[in-house]
Structures are given as C-alpha cells and as structure tokens.
C-alpha cells in the first residue's frame, strides 16, 4: 500500500516521500481502517522539521498523520464494538501515527462511528482539534456563564473551539483579522476582536478562561485579562512541570523549562490562577460525545482546503503558512 513517510528532519519537501509499504499488522483489539480522508495539523509539519525530537526521536523512515476517517475492512478477534463496513473517525494515539496512508490499524478504544451528517473529509477534520478543545476546557473547568477568550478564531482549533464553547453556555471572545470578522461571528463568537484595528488587552477584562493557541507573549499576556482564580489552558506555551514529567522529559530539560517558565509561574501565583499546558490524548468516548453534538447540528466541520493524497507535500506547506480558515484535509480517494 502507499504511505507518506518521513525520511529525515528538516524542510518538508526534502524530508518526506511516498513509499510502498506492507499492509499494517492488526492486533486482537484493533481495527484495520481503509483511510478515506486524513486531516493535517501543525504538529505534523513540526515533527517533520524536528521540533518534537526532544520529546521523541524518530527512527526513519517514520509514519506521519494522526486524524483519520475511513471504513473498517477487518477487525481483531477481541473487537466487540465495530463491524466490517462501519464508517469511523479517530485521532490515533500519539505513539502510533500513520494516517497519511491507504490503511492503518487502530485500537478500538480510540475509534468512533463517523457522524452520519458528515462526509469522510469533514469527519477527518474533527478529531484532534475536537479532543484538544474538550480536554482543555475540562482542565479549565469551563461552565455555563463563563467568559472565555479563544485566540485565533479562524484557525483549525479556534473555529472548532468557538462552536464547542457555545454548546457549554460560555460567552466567547475571539481574535481574528479584518477579512475573517464576519465569518468568525457566524461561528457563534459573541465578541470578535479585529487584531488589526483593536488591542484585545484593551477590550477584554476579567475573563474566566483563556484558551491560548498562540504561545509566546500571548501566554503571559493572558494573565492581564484573567480574573483572580481564573484558568489559562495552553496548547502553545511552555509546559508546566507536571506535563513535562508526563512527556518523559529528563531532569535537565525540566530544569531548563522551569527557569524559562519563571515569569509565567510568578503570574500564576499573583492571580491565584490555574495554568496547564495540554497534551491531548486519543479518546473514542469523547469523540462519541462530539459526534452527538455534530449530528444535532450544534457543531459544523470547517474546511479550508481539500487536497488529493498525491499533493500531501503541498498540503503540509499550506498549513505551515498559517493562514488556513479551518482545517486542511487530504482526500485519499
């Protein structure tokens, strides 16, 4: 079967290639999935470029891709929840990438029936951004009536997070550029801040939760608009000590991160706040909750562009540019 594989660290085009590989071996608790669509996330090109090698070094050639939508074509002896022909979607476990391929074997616990009202391409856009958002807001204990700031509302994570936060009864602030203001409003945001015309730090105050999708100064600046006792959940800032341990980082790296995080830790103490760097995990049960929201039309898939599998390199480079409105998806068929 054909698969896109990473051959080394560096520029995307020079370090991935299509290869013919063996069909995946399937365990007793696994499903063999015929991949119909796979979405691209920033983590994919960051892995190729080597940004994640301090967490896990690759042995080349290495598989790539985490989001998948497809059809069950075989199953292990101990699989009880799925049948041949089932249409599914999933975010595969972090230690088992490889959705940029014609087939993949996946543990049944992380798989969910595909929403009936979504195409394969639409369904593939959901798992990583959906699970990341659900788990982030769980950490933040987001509840009805809370005010939340979601940075980069037109991006893959932001466009999903706005919709999900509204299902939880939150009041949503978001930031975006001038050309996307009306589009982001239509996603459900209550107050859209055009960062080219307004400074969000002068508009917002006393929010309960900041969902930091940008990192850098945005992580520290979150505490300027956070109420006392509020929460900052980040997918782009510096890992907190607990997460650094969970990632398996050695003592020296954790010490260096602690030094780098000094100012951030001070801000957390000053605001009596909660800060968490969220590393999402695959979870079929949470995907099923999202499936119900999608089928009830509370959440829609947001697709920026669809690329054929043969143009995967161009798709990865498009995502790296950072201007996508919603998700970029590979159509494998």
Among 3.40.309.10, 3.40.50.300, 3.40.50.720, 1.10.1740.10, what is the CATH number of 129-277? 3.40.50.720
Contacts of 8 (CB under 8 A, 6+ apart): 14, 15, 60
Residues of the chain with pLDDT > 90, as a percent, come to 89
- CATH 3.40.50.720 domain locations along the chain: 129-277
Residue 248 has pLDDT above 80, yes or no: no
pLDDT, mean over the chain: 96
Distance CA 218, CA 129 (A): 20
Six-digit token string for 179:
């050309």
Taking only the tens place, the pLDDT of each residue in 187-220 is: 999 999 999 999 999 999 999 999 999 999 999 9
Could you identify the residue written with the tokens 């699970």?
A: 131
The pair of three-digit structure tokens given for residue 143, joined into one six-digit string: 């509840």
* pLDDT single digits (tens) 107-127: 999 999 999 999 999 999 999
pLDDT in tens, 277-331: 999 999 999 999 999 999 999 999 999 999 999 999 999 999 999 889 999 999 9
Per-residue confidence (pLDDT) for residue 255, from 0 to 100: 84
In this predicted structure, what is the pLDDT of residue 245?
A: 82
Residue for token digits 């099923």? 288
Joined tokens for residue 193: 């801040």
Q: Average pLDDT of 125-133? A: 98
What stretch(es) of the chain map to CATH 3.90.180.10? 2-125+301-331
Model confidence at 244, in pLDDT bands (50, 70, 90)? confident
SS (H, E, C) 28-92: CCEEEEEEEEEEECHHHHHHHHCCCCCCCCCCCCEECCCEEEEEEEEECCCCCCCCCCCEEEEEC
What CATH fold (topology level) applies to the domain 2-125+301-331?
A: Quinone Oxidoreductase; Chain A, domain 1 (3.90.180)
From CA 3, how far away is CA 22, in angstroms rounded?
A: 9
pLDDT tens for 4-32 read 999 999 999 999 999 999 999 999 999 99
- What is the number of helices (H) and of strands (E) in the chain? 12, 16
Beta carbons of 248 and 270 less than 8 angstroms apart: no
Whether pTM exceeds 0.85: yes
Mean pLDDT along residues 54-80:
95
Task: Report residue 145 CA to chain centroid gap.
Answer: 25
- With CA atoms as reference, report the closest residue to 157 among 189, 125, 190, 114: 125
Contact yes or no for 111/284 (Cβ under 8 A):
yes
């Amino acid at each position: 079967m054909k698969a896109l594989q990473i051959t080394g660290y560096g520029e995307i085009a020079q370090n991935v290639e299509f290869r013919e590989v063996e069909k995946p071996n399937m365990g007793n608790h696994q499903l063999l999935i015929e991949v119909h669509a796979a979405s691209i996330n920033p983590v994919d090109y960051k892995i190729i470029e080597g940004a994640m090698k301090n967490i896990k070094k690759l042995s080349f050639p290495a598989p790539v891709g985490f989001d998948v939508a497809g059809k069950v074509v075989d199953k292990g002896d101990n699989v009880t929840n799925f049948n041949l022909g089932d249409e599914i979607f999933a975010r595969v476990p972090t230690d088992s990438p490889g959705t940029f391929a014609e087939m993949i074997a996946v543990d049944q616990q992380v798989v969910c029936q595909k929403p009936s009202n979504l195409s394969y391409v639409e369904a593939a856009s959901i798992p990583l951004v959906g699970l990341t958002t659900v788990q982030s807001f769980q950490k933040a204990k987001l509840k009805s009536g809370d005010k939340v700031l979601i940075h980069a509302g037109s991006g893959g994570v932001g466009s999903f997070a706005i919709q999900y936060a509204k299902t939880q009864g939150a009041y949503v602030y978001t930031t975006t550029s001038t050309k996307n203001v009306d589009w982001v409003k239509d996603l459900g945001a209550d107050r859209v801040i055009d960062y080219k015309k307004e400074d969000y730090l002068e508009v917002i105050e006393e929010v309960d939760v900041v969902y930091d999708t940008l990192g850098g100064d945005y992580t520290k600046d979150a505490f300027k608009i956070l109420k006392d006792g509020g929460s900052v959940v980040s997918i782009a800032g510096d890992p907190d000590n607990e997460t650094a341990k969970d990632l398996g980082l050695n003592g020296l790296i954790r010490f260096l991160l602690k030094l780098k995080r000094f100012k951030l830790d001070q801000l957390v103490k000053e605001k009596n706040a909660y800060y968490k760097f969220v590393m999402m995990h695959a979870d079929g049960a949470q995907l099923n909750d999202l499936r119900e929201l999608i089928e009830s039309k509370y959440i829609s898939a947001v697709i920026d562009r669809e690329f054929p599998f043969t143009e995967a390199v161009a798709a990865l480079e498009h995502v790296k540019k950072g201007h996508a409105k919603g998700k970029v998806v590979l159509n494998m068929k």
